[in-house]
Structure 1
Amino acid sequence: MKEKNSRRLFLKRTSLTTAALSTAPFLLASPKNEQLVLTRNYNKLEFSVNDQINIALIGTGIQGIYDTQAALKVDGVKIVAACDLYTGRLARAKELWGKDIFVTRDYREILNRKDIDAVIIATPDHWHQTITVAALKADKHVYCEKPIVQNFNEGQEIIEAQKSSGKICQVGSQGMASLGNEKAKKLYEDGAIGDIVMLDMYNDRYSAEGAWQYPIPPDASKETVDFDTFLGNTPKTPFNPTRFFRWRNYQDYGTGVAGDLFVHAFSTLNYVISSHGPNRALATGGLRYWNDGRDVPDVSITLYDYPKTETHAPFNAAFRINFIAGSGGGGGFKLIGTEGEMEIGQNSVTLNRSKLSLEPSGYSLVSFTEEMQQQIKNEYAAKNLESRNSSLSTGTTTWQAPREYKGAHYDHFNNFFTSIRNNGKVIQDPEFGLRAAGAALLANESFAQKQPVNWNPTEMKLL
Structure 2
Amino acid sequence: MGNYSDNRRRFIKQSSVAMGGLAISNISSPLDIFSQNSTIADPIRLGFVGIGGRGSYHLDVALGMEGVLVPAICEIKPERLYQAKRWIEESGQPTPRLYDKGLTDFKRLCEEETLDAIICSTSWEWHAPVCLAAMKNDKHAVSEVPIILTVDEAWELVETSEKTGKWATLALEQAMLESSDGLALLNMVQKGLFGEILHTEGGYVHDLRFVKNNPAEEPWRLAYDVTHNGNLYPDHPMNRIMAYENINHGDRLEHLISMSSKAVMLHEYAELNYGRNSEQGKIEFKQGDVNTTLIRTANGRLITLNYDTNTPHPRELFRLQGTKGVYLGGSALDGPKIYLEGLSPEEHEWEPAAKYLEEYKHPVIKNYNPTPRKSALRGHGGNSNTTPLTWHLLVNALREKKMPYFDVYDSVTSSVVFPLSNLSVANNGKSVDVPDFTKGKWKTRPPMTIG
TM-score (norm 1): 0.68
Which of residues 437, 441, 444 is equivalent to 2:415?
437
Q: How far off its partner does 1:405 sit? A: 6.3
Any idea what SS the aligned residue of 1:212 has? helix
- Give 2:353's aligned residue: 397
Q: 2:149·2:416 contact (CA, 8 Å) conserved in 1? A: no
Q: How far off its partner does 1:11 sit? A: 2.8
Asked whether 1:258 is paired with 2:231, we answer: yes
Q: 1:175·1:409 contact (CA, 8 Å) conserved in 2? A: no
The 1-side partners of 2:69 and 2:284 are apart by 38
Q: Deviations over 1:315-364 (max 9, x none)?
A: 4333223334434x222221123322124679xx94612558xxxxxxxx
Q: How far off its partner does 1:391 sit? A: 6.5
- Give 2:220's aligned residue: 247
Q: How far off its partner does 1:152 sit? A: 1.0
Q: 1:300·1:321 contact (CA, 8 Å) conserved in 2? A: yes
Q: How far off its partner does 1:130 sit? A: 1.8
- Give 2:98's aligned residue: 103
- Give 1:364's aligned residue: none
- Give 2:275's aligned residue: none
The 1-side partners of 2:255 and 2:348 are apart by 37
- Give 2:34's aligned residue: 42
Residue identity in the other structure for 1:439: V
Any idea what SS the aligned residue of 1:80 has? strand
Asked whether 1:331 is paired with 2:316, we answer: yes
The 1-side partners of 2:344 and 2:38 are apart by 54
- Give 1:282's aligned residue: 258
Any idea what SS the aligned residue of 1:60 has? coil
Change (3 A) 1:160 1:458: closer
Q: 2:205·2:316 contact (CA, 8 Å) conserved in 1? A: yes
Q: 1:181·1:345 contact (CA, 8 Å) conserved in 2? A: no
Structure with the greater alpha carbon radius of gyration: 1
Asked whether 1:61 is paired with 2:17, we answer: no
Q: How far off its partner does 1:42 sit? A: 2.2
Q: How far off its partner does 1:269 sit? A: 0.7
The 1-side partners of 2:387 and 2:260 are apart by 31
Q: How far off its partner does 1:120 sit? A: 0.4
- Note the residue ranges of structure 1 that are not aligned, 5 or more in a row: 23-39, 218-244, 357-386
For 1:25-40, what aligned pairs fall within 5 Å after superposition? none
Q: How far off its partner does 1:205 sit? A: 3.1
Any idea what SS the aligned residue of 1:199 has? strand
Q: Deviations over 1:21-54 (max 9, x none)?
A: 99xxxxxxxxxxxxxxxxx972236766x72112
Asked whether 1:352 is paired with 2:353, we answer: no
- Give 1:198's aligned residue: 199
Q: 1:181·1:344 contact (CA, 8 Å) conserved in 2? A: no
- Give 1:223's aligned residue: none
Change (3 A) 1:294 1:152: farther
Change (3 A) 1:394 1:212: closer
Asked whether 1:415 is paired with 2:396, we answer: no
For 1:66-81, what aligned pairs fall within 5 Å after superposition? 66-81=57-72
Asked whether 1:11 is paired with 2:21, we answer: no
Q: Deviations over 1:273-317 (max 9, x none)?
A: 2022251222213432223447452622223132352xxxx2433
Residue identity in the other structure for 1:189: Q
Asked whether 1:306 is paired with 2:291, we answer: no
The 1-side partners of 2:396 and 2:203 are apart by 33
Asked whether 1:213 is paired with 2:213, we answer: yes
The 1-side partners of 2:58 and 2:228 are apart by 20
Q: Deviations over 1:124-166 (max 9, x none)?
A: 2222222211111111121122221111111122112222222
Root-mean-square deviation (CA, aligned residues, Å) is 4.0
Sequence identity percentage: 17
The 1-side partners of 2:438 and 2:228 are apart by 18
Q: How far off its partner does 1:389 sit? A: 10
Q: Deviations over 1:379-400 (max 9, x none)?
A: xxxxxxxx99996998443226
Identify which range, 146-155 or 317-326, moves more after superposition. 317-326
Change (3 A) 1:204 1:85: same
Residue identity in the other structure for 2:151: F
Change (3 A) 1:451 1:185: same
Change (3 A) 1:203 1:424: closer
- Give 2:326's aligned residue: 341
- Give 1:173's aligned residue: 173
Q: 2:393·2:404 contact (CA, 8 Å) conserved in 1? A: yes
- Give 1:36's aligned residue: none
The 2-side partners of 1:150 and 1:421 are apart by 30
The 1-side partners of 2:120 and 2:293 are apart by 31
For 1:225-244, what aligned pairs fall within 5 Å after superposition? none
Q: How far off its partner does 1:458 sit? A: 2.6
Q: Deviations over 1:157-190 (max 9, x none)?
A: 2112222222343224233545444322221233
TM-score (norm 2): 0.69
Q: 2:258·2:421 contact (CA, 8 Å) conserved in 1? A: yes
Any idea what SS the aligned residue of 1:258 has? coil
Residue identity in the other structure for 2:81: L
Residue identity in the other structure for 2:318: F
Q: 1:288·1:297 contact (CA, 8 Å) conserved in 2? A: no
- Give 2:442's aligned residue: none
Residue identity in the other structure for 1:299: D
Any idea what SS the aligned residue of 1:299 has? coil
Residue identity in the other structure for 1:264: H
Which of residues 301, 315, 322 is equivalent to 2:308?
322
- Give 2:380's aligned residue: none
Q: How far off its partner does 1:250 sit? A: 2.2
- Give 1:148's aligned residue: 147
Residue identity in the other structure for 1:283: M
Change (3 A) 1:90 1:428: same
Change (3 A) 1:338 1:184: same
- Note the residue ranges of structure 2 that are not aligned, 5 or more in a row: 1-10, 26-31, 268-279, 371-383, 440-451
Asked whether 1:447 is paired with 2:403, we answer: no
Which of residues 74, 93, 110 is equivalent to 2:84?
93
- Give 2:242's aligned residue: 270
